[in-house]
Every structure is written in C-alpha cells, then in structure tokens.
Amino acid sequence: MHKDNWDHSQFKNPHGEEGRILLEDMNDHHRSLSEWALSNLPAFCCSNILDIGCGGGMLISLLAERFPNASICGVDISDESVRLTKETNNDLVKKGKCTITKNSVSELPFKNHSFDLVTAFETYFFWPNISEDIKEATRVVSPGGYIIIVSEAYPHPNFDEQNAEYTRLYGLKLLKNEELEALIRKCGFDVTVVEIEEKNWIAFIGKRK
C-alpha cells in the first residue's frame, strides 16, 4: 500500500497503463512480505495451488520456486492483472504448469477440494463479502491442505492512524484478527496466526481437518 498519487480505485481493480505500473510496483513492494509469509508454511506435499488475486504474478513465481512440481492456477478480477501475471510467469505458462484466468473469489470455477494450497495475499480486504468469500476460498482446499491469507495491515493500536488512512483512501475492510481467524475455523480448519507486530504484517495459516 502506498500514499502516492494513484487513482485509488486502481488498488482494488488495476486497469490501463496506470494499473500496469501499479502492478509492477506491487511486484517489488510485496516481495519481502510474500517471502516472509511463505517461510511460515510447513513442509508438505503440494501438487496443486490456487492463488486468489494474483496481481502482478510475483507470488506465483515464488510459489513455483517453493513447489517446483506443483501446477499453479491464478485468478484475478483485473484484466491487466491476468495479462501481467501471464507475462511474469511466461515460462511456466508455456510449459503448462501455470494457468491464469479472470475470476472472482466469490465464484471460483473449481470443484470442491481441488487444491493442496490456496493463497490470498494482499486481497481479502477488497473481497465483496468477506465471510461468504472465505467459505468459497476454503471450499476448494483439499483434506489436509492449507490456505494462507496474508496482509501487510491489521488492526493494531500502533497503526490505527495509518490503517484508518488506508481505509479512507482505498476502501479496505480490515477485520480484527480474531474475527478473520474465526471465519476460517468455522470452515473446518485449524488456524495458526503469525505476525510481525512492528511491521503490522500478518499471516493466517489454515489447515483443513
């Protein structure tokens, strides 16, 4: 997130030339957050991955490095995100190891229990109906599989002013940690919450029972 002179609607649905620039910037800006979050995943067998809100495609590149034998699907509501993610992961797409489509988290075109890992980085706070969309995101996680939801902002007294500004500018809906954790647990998951308090970073790691 930034306080630059962007059209703030771009953060929710990047489009056009400015959207492309923003997505490329996000690929750089979110890399350290993404690397940290993935480092908290346990070692497990992973054949199929879904990245919800794939943005500029950087996370898919990291996932391919972490899980070289997995097939990866990315979805996003932004046409520009779909284009850039394909470009960023051109080799994976050409090899048939990665597919990118335009879809919403609210209506994922996948069967139940299709993925060993579902990722949602820097996106849940833009979802149309967070409680229902959590149900949809967790629906496609296989038994024993994982979902990881990551944000570089969460409600905390030290960041109240900053997060209030994010909410005003970008329309974020930041849930309290216990609220988001409870939504994931209600879907049949054990949940581990990891945070870096001084950075206001958080990761919710759910494992389907």
The pLDDT of residue 4: 52
The pLDDT of residue 125: 97
CATH number at residue 13: 3.40.50.150
In angstroms, rounded to a whole number, what is the distance separating the alpha carbons of residues 72 and 130?
24
CB 87 within 8 A of CB 96: no
Determine how β-strand 71-76 pairs with β-strand 141-151: unpaired
Q: How many domains does the chain have?
A: 1
31 within a domain of the structure (yes/no): yes
Q: Strand, coil or helix: what is 152?
A: coil
Mean pLDDT, residues 86-105: 98
The tokens of 151 are what? 């944000």
Give the closest residue to 193 by CA, choosing from 51, 40, 50: 40
195 within a domain of the structure (yes/no): yes
Q: Which residues form the domain of 88?
A: 8-208
3 within a domain of the structure (yes/no): no
pLDDT above 70 for 2: no
pLDDT tens-place string over residues 127-145: 999 999 999 999 999 999 9
The amino acid occupying position 96 is: G
85 within a domain of the structure (yes/no): yes
Determine how β-strand 71-76 pairs with β-strand 98-102: parallel
